[in-house]
Amino acid sequence: MWSHAFTLGGFGVDPLRAFTRGAEDVGAIAVDGFFVLSGLLIVRSFERTANIGRFLWHRSLRIFPGFWACLAAVAFVFAPILFVHERGTLAGYFSSPNSPWTYLTANAFLAMNQYNVAGLLAKTPVPFLFNRSLWTLQYEFYCYIAVAVLGAFAIVGRRRSILLVPLSIAFALFIAGSVVRGQQTVPTTLRSMELYTFFGIGASAYLYRSRIPMRGSIAALALLLIAATLPTRIYGVVLPLALGYLTLYAAMMLPLRDFDKRSDFSYGIYIYAFPISQLLTAFGATAAGFAAYFGAAYAISLAFAVASWFGIEKRALALKNLSLKAFLSGRMEDETRDAQISHGIGSARGI
């Protein structure tokens, strides 16, 4: 969110992006780190769920309800407010090209086919895009499907090494593309390959966790390698494993525990930060300076994230253990929260 605030508010680009001439930025590294942790947690979830259908049901509950609510918020709250602000009336909003209705239907299944609503945001530094951040969610869900399919083969054959095959392919393609492009803006195809690579690193780290030492010296070396290769073509070769290790080391070793045990606002902040920042820009909040703009965007995004968690996400996750029989009879399976947590399927941590 901090990285986006520079471009969305018209304050230039974040320092890392300026240094690498657009090839890398703090936001991209943050998303890469998220995919590492997601790979680890999702494979753990699959292993403990031990049922493909239920695993995909759990993943769908975590992604779709909050996502659909965010689409609706943009279509029927944020965009109408901005439409009235720009044009003084709501007349014509619902019948305009790129209507709110098509915004919902075109994007309903994660593939973002329409970013604009009613031609709004034409004069902002990042024009016409209401919520660019949502583009990563389809690739996240593709990773869930891959875990389900590859996990099924591994279970049948009792060979966890089969999961290393797609990781090796994605890793090789990402490295090759990185070496060829050098310090150039990353195309979408290569960026998606990057996400698959980091997810695969996290997944493999979980499967081979007993063989991976967590040492400060290795983390320091990884950080030095990233810093030393950042301006070069070798960066793409070093980044996946080095950043993957740094992310896991931080997650395992830093004294941060259980801060999201009862509530997880991370997903809500991620999906609401972009449109809220755009709305603030359109209303002239950037005149107060970067710090005030970012602070306001974060505070409002957090408020929406809290509402999303308690109003949508937490309620959806309560349906994790709904059986078909219970659904047909209108009843829920009677399982305690402690049992859910002990089996690793009731935790709200991660996406």
Q: Are the CB atoms for 20 and 183 separated by under 8 Å?
A: yes
Quick one: which of 302, 305, 309 has its CA closest to 263? 309
Q: How far apart are CA 111 and CA 140, in angstroms?
A: 11
For 146-187, the pLDDT digits (tens) are: 999 888 877 655 667 777 777 888 888 777 777 666 545 556
Q: How far apart are CA 14 and CA 337, in angstroms?
A: 42
Helix axes 266-282, 79-87, angle to 10 degrees: 0
Q: Are the CB atoms for 65 and 316 separated by under 8 Å?
A: yes
Structure tokens at 133: 């951040």
Mean pLDDT, rounded, for 197-220? 92
For 244-255, the pLDDT digits (tens) are: 999 999 998 888
pLDDT over 80 (residue 219): yes
Half-sphere exposure of 8 (CA within 13 A, CB side): 28
Cβ neighbours around 7 below 10 Å, total = 18
Q: Using CA atoms of 263, 260, 347, 145 in order, give the dihedral in degrees to the nearest 10.
A: 100
Q: Output Rg (C-alpha) for the chain, integer angstroms.
A: 21
Residue 22: pLDDT band with limits 50, 70, 90: confident
Burial of 126 per CB tally in 10 Å (0-12, 13-18, 19+): middle
Largest Cα span, the chain = 64
| This prediction's pTM | 0.86
Residue 23: pLDDT band with limits 50, 70, 90: confident
pLDDT over 60 (residue 334): no
What 3-state DSSP class applies to 344?
coil
Quick one: which of 35, 47, 44 has its CA closest to 197? 35
Cβ neighbours around 53 below 10 Å, total = 10
The region of weakest confidence among 8-22, 95-109, 246-260, 326-340 is 326-340
